[in-house]
Structure 1
Amino acid sequence: MSTFRTATHRKQLQAVGATDDNTVIERFHGKIPEREEYQKLKNYWLKPGDTLVIYDLEALGGKRSAKNELEYYKAHNIRVKILDIPTTTTDYHGNPEMSTMILDTIINTLDYVIDHEIQRTHKRQTQGVDRIRDKPAWNNYGRPQVQLPTNYEEVMQRWTRGEITAAAAMGLTGLSRTTFYRLAHQYKNGGLGV
Structure 2
Amino acid sequence: MKLGYIRVSTREQNIDRQIQELFKYGIEERALFIDHTSGKDFNRPQYEALKQYCRNGDELYIHELDRLGRSKKLIFEELNFFKEAGVIVRILDIPTTLTDFTVHNEMSKTIMDMINNLLLEVLSTLAEQELLKLHKRQREGIDAAKEKGVQFGRPKKYDFINKEEYDKFSYTYNLWKNNHITAVEAFTSLGVCKTTFYARVKQYEAINEKNKPTD
How high is the TM-score relative to the length of structure 2? Answer: 0.45
How high is the TM-score relative to the length of structure 1? Answer: 0.49
